[in-house]
Structure 1
Amino acid sequence: MLETLYGCGLRVSELVNLKLSDLFFEEGFIKVTGKGDKQRFVPIIDVTKKYIDIYRKDIRKHMNIQAGFEDTLFLNRRGKQLTRAMIFTIIKQLAVKIDLNKSISPHTFRHSFATHLLQNNADLRSIQLMLGHESITTTEIYVHLDRNHLTKVVEKFHPRK
C-alpha cells in the first residue's frame, strides 16, 4: 500500500479507490481515477508491481472479502474497502513504530514521488501528467526544490561552467 502511494504518486483517495480491474501490469500501467472522476494511466514500476503481487497472493487471497468489494484492491481486516482515515492511521502507527520523529501523511509519499522524479531530471510536464494536475502551475508549486539541487542543475547544465 505504501509502495503504491510512493511508486505511483497517488492521492490517498486514489489509492483507496483502486480496483483489481485498474491494474494493467502487462502494459506497465495502472488506471487511476482522480479528482472530478478524471481517469489517467500512471506507469507502474517493477518494485511496486512486486509488492502489490505479494499483497494479492499472500494477504488479500486469504481474506473474507465482503460482497461488493471483490474488485477493490486494498481491503481492511473485515474485507471491506479501506478508508482515507485508515490509511492516515496506518501511516502514523508505522511512523511511531520506527521512531520517525517527523510528521508524515499519505501526501508525504506523493510529494516524495514528485520531488525524487524532478531531482532525477524528469520533466515537469511528465510529472504533471502522472500526478493528474490540470495546471502545470499546480505541479510547480507542489514540487519544491532545495537550493542545493538548483545549484547542481546550473553547474551541470549551464554552458559557462
Structure 2
Amino acid sequence: METGKDSKDIVSRYRRYLKLEKGYSVNTLDAYMRDLDKLVRYLAAEQVHVTEVKLEQLEHFAASISDLGIGPRSLARILSGVRQFYRFLVLDGYMEDDPTELLESPKQPNHLPEVLSTAEVDLLEQAIDLSKWEGHRNRAIIEVLFSCGLRVSELINLKLSNLYVDEQFIRVMGKGSKERLVPISPRALEELNYWFSMRNEMSIKPGEEDYVFLNRRGHHLTRTMILIMIKRYAAEAGIKKTISPHTLRHSFATSLLEGGADLRAIQAMLGHESIGTTEIYTHIDTSTLRQEILEHHPRNIQYKLEREEESE
C-alpha cells in the first residue's frame, strides 16, 4: 500500500483517472472535483489525510454539509462522488479498506419532476412567433427535445453529421462521451427542415458549420439561451408549471411509458446507465393512474355526487 502521498498529488491522479479511464466530459469532471474539494478542505481543517480517514469522520463531514443547508439530493450526489474517490484509492493501492462501504446517503424526498402533456407542448410551440428570425429554430428545438428526450447539453452539441434523415435516427453524444442512436419523429424532422431553409441563408462562423442550432451570429447555442427561451414561451402560453429544457425530457419519457413503451427501451433512448434512474417514470405513471381512478371509477363518481348533494 502506498503511503505518505501528498493529497494534492492524489487528487490530481484521480482527476486524470476520471478523464482518461472513465471518459468523463469537462462539465462532469469539474462537478466531481468541486464536490471532492469540499471533502479535501474539511479533512485539511481536521488535520486528517485523505488516506487515513475513517467512517466516523466521513459521517461528520456529511453532517457538516447538511448543516450548511445543502439539500438531500445534492448531499447524496456529493457522497456518491466521495465513494467513487475512495474506490479509486483502494483500486490504486493507496488504501487497503474502503471507509465508505457503510456510509449512508440521506433519504430522498418523494419528489416527482414536472411534466408537460402533449397539449401543453403544443401550447408552448403555438406561443412562438414564426415571423421572427428565430421562430422556426426555436420550434424545432422544442420539438426535438420532446420527440427525442435529449439533455440540453446533447441538443446544443447536436451536429448535422449526426442526423440520419432517411433512417429517421439521430446519433447523440451523451454523458461520459457515450454514443447512442435515438429515433426522431417525422414531425421533428419537418420542423428541422423549416429551420434549415433559414439556416442555409446564414453566415456561419468557421468551425461552427456542423452544429444544427445556431444563434444569429452563426455560433452554436448555450444552455442558458435554451432555458431563457423555453421559460419565456411557457409564460406567454400561460403554462403555470415551473419548467426547463429538462421538463421536455421528462415529458418524453412519461408519454412513452403511458403509451405502453418498455422501461428498458426508455432507458436506452434516455441514455441512463442504470434502470433505477429510469424507474422514476413508473412513479409518475402511477400518480397519473391514481388520478384517473379517482376521476373515472364509478365508486369515486358516486362518492363525489353524494358529497355534493350533502353540501347543497
Counterpart AA for 1:25: V
The answer to whether residue 126 in structure 2 is matched with residue 2 in structure 1 is no
Alpha-carbon shift at residue 53 of structure 1 (Å): 1.0
1:73: which partner in 2?
A: 212
Q: 1:22 aligns with which of 159, 162, 165?
A: 162
Note the alpha carbon deviations across 1:52-86, whole angstroms, 9 max, x for none: 111111x2112221111000000011110100011
**Higher helix fraction (1 or 2):** 2
- Other structure's SS at 1:145 match: helix
Sort the Cα spacing of 1:123 and 1:151 in 2 relative to 1 into closer, same or farther, 3 A.
farther
DSSP 3-state at the match of 2:229: helix
Matches within 5 A, 1:10-159: 10-57=150-197, 59-142=198-281, 144-149=284-289
Code of the residue aligned with 2:241 in structure 1: it is: K
Deviations along 1:20-49, whole A, 9 cap, x unmatched? 000001112000000011000001111111
Aligned partners of 2:257 and 2:281 also within 8 Å: no
Structure 1 residue identity aligned to 2:264: R
Structure (1 or 2) with the larger CA radius of gyration: 2
Amino acid corresponding to residue 218 of structure 2 in structure 1: G
**1:82-132: CA deviation from partner (whole Å, max 9, x where unpaired):** 000110011111112222222110001000000000000000000000000
TM-score, reference length from structure 1: 0.89
TM-score by length of 2: 0.47
Percent of residue pairs identical: 53
> Gaps (5+ residues) in structure 2?
1-140, 293-312
- The amino acid across from 1:70 in the alignment is E
- Partner amino acid, structure 1, of 2:184: I
Letter in 2 for 1:55: W
Question: Is the 8 Å Cα contact of residues 119 and 149 (structure 1) preserved in structure 2?
Answer: no
Amino acid at match of 1:119: E
Cα distance in structure 2, aligned partners of 1:64 and 1:109:
30
Quote the Cα distance in structure 2 between the aligned partners of 1:47 and 1:10.
Answer: 16
- 2:185 maps to a residue whose letter is I
The answer to whether the Cα contact below 8 Å between 1:20 and 1:72 also exists between their aligned partners in 2 is yes
Conserved? CA contact 2:149–2:248, under 8 Å: yes
The alignment of Structure 1 onto Structure 2 pairs a total of residues equal to 152
In structure 1, C-alpha distance between the alignment counterparts of 2:235 and 2:291, rounded to whole Å: 35
Q: Work out the CA distance in 1 between the residues paired with 2:251 and 2:154.
A: 16
